[in-house]
Amino acid sequence: MNAALRFKAAVEAGDIVGATEFFSDDITLHSPVKFQPFEGIDAVRALFRVLQRTFEDFRYVGQYDGPNGHVLHFRTVVSGRQVEGIDLIELDEDGRIGTFTVMIRPQSALTAVGEAILAGLMADGAVS
């Protein structure tokens, strides 16, 4: 089982933060809630700690595998809003998750996610 599928299994087991062990140390995470990506394992783990607290009833509902990556289709609830999105996962040359891109719909859900993540990162002192 590759790193993307091990990541998915950890998330499905409820260990969102633990799932980051499959990321490369220099991971780049492109988030829909900010223009600049989260760079490096420490920044991404800080984000995932917030996600662990923020997402309600997170579940993957589909999976698409290709030669250069994986797409995991998810649904969750944030601040009472239904959220749908995808995680686009690309593996690096060492077989670890090197690039992670998140896309979310609809716009109202994206706004709720952005506000909740910013509040969580600020509460944790990860951003000012």
- Determine the pLDDT at residue 125: 79
**pLDDT tens digits along 3-54:** 999 999 999 998 988 899 999 999 999 999 888 999 999 999 999 999 999 9
* Residue scoring higher pLDDT (126 or 2): 2
pTM listed for this prediction: 0.90
Whole-angstrom distance, CA of residue 127 vs CA of residue 91 = 27
Q: Would you kindly state where each structural domain of the chain is located, as residue ranges? A: 3-123
CATH of 3-123, one of 3.40.1160.10, 3.10.450.50, 3.40.190.10, 3.40.50.2300: 3.10.450.50
